[in-house]
Amino acid sequence: MISRRNALLAAIAGLVGLGGAYSAFAKKPSLVAKFDTDNDGTVDLAEAKKAASALFEKLDTDKDGTLDIKELHGRLSPKEFATTDPDNDKTLTKDEYLAAVEKRFKAADPDNDGTVSAAEFRTTAGQALARLLH
Ligand SMILES: [Ca+2]
Ligand SMILES: [Ca+2]
Ligand SMILES: [Ca+2]
């Protein structure tokens, strides 16, 4: 009887152990969780712009208020940079950067509900948006 009880306890301990591992996995921050400041499970344009704006300031290491292509560390290819820089002065102001974020946000939201869901972040357009946010 005792050994059976021990086996049962071991099984329970095993399940608890698995549960712990599972919740650790589930807690891995998703892209949505990272940018979803109002915690409604999706990322809206305001949240995306907020994240992008914080990133812009972080990347602007010389603090001149603009990003050059080097400061972007590969987030935009030279071709993408050129389309993001309509005045062609080889730097992006925050307005230019946020305009690009807005464009990518719209591309990443094909169902047009104004939010990017976890599934939408997994698409190519979703990944392209995420590159400008973190
Ligand atoms: Ca949200
Ligand atoms: Ca510019
Ligand atoms: Ca959407």
Distance of alpha carbon 88 from alpha carbon 16, whole angstroms:
59
- Of 58, 56, 61, 46, nearest to 76 by C-alpha is 56
Percent of the chain exceeding pLDDT 90 equals 78
Above 70 in pLDDT, residue 4? Answer: no
Above 70 in pLDDT, residue 120? Answer: yes
Q: Under a CB-based contact definition with an 8 Å cutoff, are residues 60 and 67 in contact?
A: yes
Distance 46 CA to ligand 1 centre (A): 9
Above 90 in pLDDT, residue 23? Answer: no
Distance 48 CA to ligand 1 centre (A): 9
Span 111-133, average pLDDT: 97
Span 18-23, average pLDDT: 50
pTM of the model: 0.78
Nearest ligand by distance to the CA of 97: 2
pLDDT given at position 17: 56
Q: Please write the tens of the pLDDT for every residue from 59-97.
A: 999 999 999 999 999 999 999 999 999 999 999 999 999
